[in-house]
Structure 1
């Protein structure tokens, strides 16, 4: 039962003028819808693999060219872009002004601490007579006001 092969026959609804040889070759072909789908899938897979291969090659070329460009980039001290140079000078100016302000603040704090120490020493020495330290107090007060201003 299962060993016999069924033969496909084409029975057109409309009269068709195909040759008998063509009809027999179509009937005898082992190709089915499934095999055609497999062939299309195989062709699609091959074209995707070929495209992937070409894209991979292009990516490798881009990476190599970027790598070579990075190697030939200017070294420290060689700045090409004027915008970068302007940014660097702006940052240097900001750093130097910040450094100068910090030094001035440290100097002010140093003199402020000196006046404070003088006042403390005077008050410790003259613990029963604080009015003797009025000059040191006035110096300390002036320094404090100038620091806060």
Structure 2
């Protein structure tokens, strides 16, 4: 079974003077502005790296939640941040890293079992598999 989700972008004119709008098929994000200034100058609006950070943090949280549940842990809470790094790469740029930071409260789990499950979720969440970047995970665990 394949699941297809959509997004769209419009950008004009070309180059640094261009301005764009990005939307998600669900309508959760609609005509959100983006452009050179939102990507490189910290202006109001979004950018592709921010969207990837949101996608990666939410995907990892869900993958870890399901993996913990499948391993028999039902009580807990996960808070995930992702920091996506964009770096110069020759004449262009590349996303070089997505650093996941996790605060987890999971009742009844020991540190070794949690590390095993969390690292498995990091490697196997669909967005991790999509990214051609270094993916790191730092976490704190309390029960």
Q: TM-score, normalised by structure 1?
A: 0.24
Q: Which has the higher helix share?
A: 1
Task: Specify which structure has the bigger relative contact order, considering alpha-carbon pairs within 8 angstroms and separated by 6 or more residues.
Answer: 2
Q: Which has the higher strand share?
A: 2
